[in-house]
Structure formats: C-alpha cells, structure tokens
Amino acid sequence: KFARAQMTMLRSVIFCLLAVGAYSVEVGDKVKKDPVSYGFQAGNANGEVCSYQGTCAVDYVEGVCVSVSSGCCTGKLTSGLCPGSSDIKCCTSNGCSTPFGSGTCLQTSLCTGTSYPGYCTGPGDLQCCVGGTPPVPPTPTTAEYGVDVSTDMSAESASCLAASGNTYVIPRGYCSDGTIDHRVCSTLTTAYNAGVKTRDTYLFPCPTCSISADEQMKTLLNHLNTNCKEAWSGRVWLDIEGTQYWTGNTDNNRVWYQALVDACRNNGVTCGVYSSASQWSGIFGDLSYSYGADLPLWYAHYDGNPSFGDFAAFAGWTTPHAKQYAGTTTVCGMGVDKNYSPAF
C-alpha cells in the first residue's frame, strides 16, 4: 500500500509539472528551463526527441525545419524553405496533444484558443493551440516581410530567406564602437545574388567617440560605395537605441543626433530612423522632441504581431514605415530580427 501511494503521488507530481511547463528540456548539449523562453523539442510517435534546424513560414504561419524521415511532422510539409538536405522540410500546423486537449502548433499571436507551452518542437512562441478557429493569414500583397542581421549571411541562408517571402535584408554597416562592420558588403552582395528585392543597411552610431557624426556617416558611405555599391539599395537606417551608448546628457544627445540627421542630408543619402518611444524618451528626455520626423520610422515592439495596430504616435511620427516585431529568432539557419511593413 505504501509503495502504491508513493506511485500515485509521483504521478500527480509529474502531471502538475507537465501542466505548468515547469520542467527542464534538453536543448543541444545544455539543459534549459522554461520552454516558453528557450523553445522545446517534442517527440515523434516512437518517443524519440525531435530537434529542429531553424524556423520557417508558409502563408505567414510559423513552422520549423525538421527531418521528414524522423516522423517529426504530422502537419503540412513544404520544400525549399529550409537549409540542409532534402530531408529537412518546413513543417507548419503540426499536431500536438496536451492534458487539456489536442490542438495545432501555432505562434501565440495567431492562436484564437488557448496556447500551452511545452508541447511543440520549436521556439518559445510556437505553442500548442487548443480550441479556437484556424488562423487567417494576411493577404500577401498587403505586406512585406524582411530581416535585419548583425552576422554573416551565407548564400544558403539568403536563398532560403528569399524563398520564404522575405523581400528586404538590413545588415549592420557601422558598429557602436565607431568602426565599420566589414561583414556588411558580403551580406548585401549575398542577398543581392539571392534575389532579395531591397538591401538597406543600418548605422549604429558612437556618440561618445571622438569621430563626428558626419565623419561616421562619410566612413560608412565610402565603404559601401567602394565595395558593394551595386548590391546596396541606397538607404541607411539610423539606429537610435541604448542610453548606455549615448553621452548621458539629453541636451548633448540631441545636438549629436541632429548632426547625424544633417549628415544624411549633407551627404545626399536617403535615411530612416530606427527607434521606439521608450528608447527615444530615455535618450532625448521627451517624446515631443521631433527632429528628423520627416524621415521614415522603423520602430521596435516585440509582440510577435506583424501589424501597426499597437503603434502610438511619438516624436512627430503618426504613421510608421516598418515594425520590428520579433527579435533574435533563428530563421533559415541564422539569427535574425523579424520585420513587417505594408510596403517597404
């Protein structure tokens, strides 16, 4: 009886742990907790662990790149969207089962029922959606999707991104330490060769360096025009974020930023501004400060929702140009930030 009671208690504990998702899962060679944040590796019909090579999307429904032969997909399989061998395909709308009912693996932003973490192979936002109605993807002609990167992009990843419907790529061109990111031209060229329509770059300025804003802009433009003029679409985004990278004085910050915006105009280059309301107020002290509001705004809000429904006007911008809606996500075998725009 005592042994039977212990077994009953153990089963209850296991069920509770499964229900709340508070258990460890093995990811690569490390054990990480909380599948909501770190992603999860579910199993196939044989109880074997299913790993994934990266994320993908079909009709804007998020999926994962998995091995077909391992039996890790019971949903829709799409070829040509994942790096690796022909056995690796994009799996979307994969079936899942929870103690609360069966469902479909969907990103939480598309689930109209209840999302349960820990039952789907993939990143943390891909969860088992139980109940609700099937997602209605946006009409492809009404939006454009793209990525920004700060690492090298391989030809394989670029081709995969283009095949997945990404129409723009924005690599870092200038670093916060006041130096050129020498990977920018290789990424722009790789994206150009893969057929990606728009290939901008972003300048992460160094306001605390002895190099003026105008010189930082000139250095970037000279590098682009000398090494990859044909591959670059001609626009520079000014990355305005991180109070720790600025002077610590909002008045001085304004003076430096104004010089950077003026450098765009003085050097004849098309620019845009990347920021958010919280970053803007932290750096410049006031959301009513609106220098450069005639430039297009690319704002950040990691809500996983590719739309402008969350946008609130600030700094003179009433309508944004683009939104960075997901950060540090693995797509096509590389780390990217995901972006949305009605027309980039």
DSSP 69-110: TTT--SSEEESSSSSSSTTEEEEES-EEEETTEEEEEEEGGG
Query: Residues with catalytic annotation?
Result: 148, 239, 241
In a 13 Å sphere around the CA of 329, the CA atoms on its Cβ side amount to 27
Give the other-Cβ count within 10 Å of 67's Cβ: 19
Could you tell me the CA-to-CA distances from 98 to 75, 106, 246, 320, 325 in Å, in that order?
Answer: 16, 14, 48, 40, 28
CB contact at 8 A, 262 and 256: no
Helix, strand, coil % in the chain, rounded to nearest 5: 25, 30, 40
Give the other-Cβ count within 10 Å of 159's Cβ: 19
Contacts of 214 (CB under 8 A, 6+ apart): 259, 262, 263, 266, 267
* In the block, residue with structure tokens 């579910």: 42
Q: Which helix (H) or strand (E) holds 272?
A: strand 270-275
Angle value at C-alpha 84, between 195 and 119, nearest 5 degrees? 110
